[in-house]
Amino acid sequence: MKRVLTLLSFGAVLAVASTSLLANGNVENGKQKAATCFACHGVDGNSVDPQYPRLAGQYNLYLQRVLHEYKDGQRNNPIMKGMVATLSDQDIEDVSAYFSSLPTKLDTLKGHISGEK
């Protein structure tokens, strides 16, 4: 029994440590830094216009990757390239933390795919 408790305690410590190591970005700073994003993506990250993706609830690391891809030109979108041009790595982590922390309202793709009627 003692061994089981020791293993459980060790597992809990590892889980907490790995969560803090994987958690990056500051949600509150991200909300401030994301102010220019709100016009298209909404303050709550749930854009009502299907031409703009809903960012709320997306995976943090996915959002970071996409923003870096816009910044370095791997994704070709002149509007987004301009929006991310001045963002530092920390800014990208913070903005991603903010949008990934929000609850999504996307329960279906109906009406949210560009060009779909």
Mean pLDDT, the chain, whole residue set: 84
Q: Can you list the alpha helix ranges (DSSP code H) found in the chain?
A: 2-22, 27-33, 38-41, 60-72, 78-84, 89-101
Residue 19 has what pLDDT? 40
- Residue 23 is which amino acid? A
For 89-103, write each residue's pLDDT tens digit: 999 999 999 999 999
CATH of region 25-101, choose from 1.10.287.130, 1.10.760.10, 2.60.40.1190, 2.60.120.10? 1.10.760.10
**What percent of the chain shows pLDDT beyond 70?**
71
- Residue 103 is which amino acid? P
Q: Report yes or no: 67 and 92 within 8 Å, Cβ to Cβ.
A: yes
pTM of the entire structure? 0.73
Q: Find the mean pLDDT for residues 18-44.
A: 85
Q: Report yes or no: 80 and 70 within 8 Å, Cβ to Cβ.
A: yes
Residue 50 has what pLDDT? 87
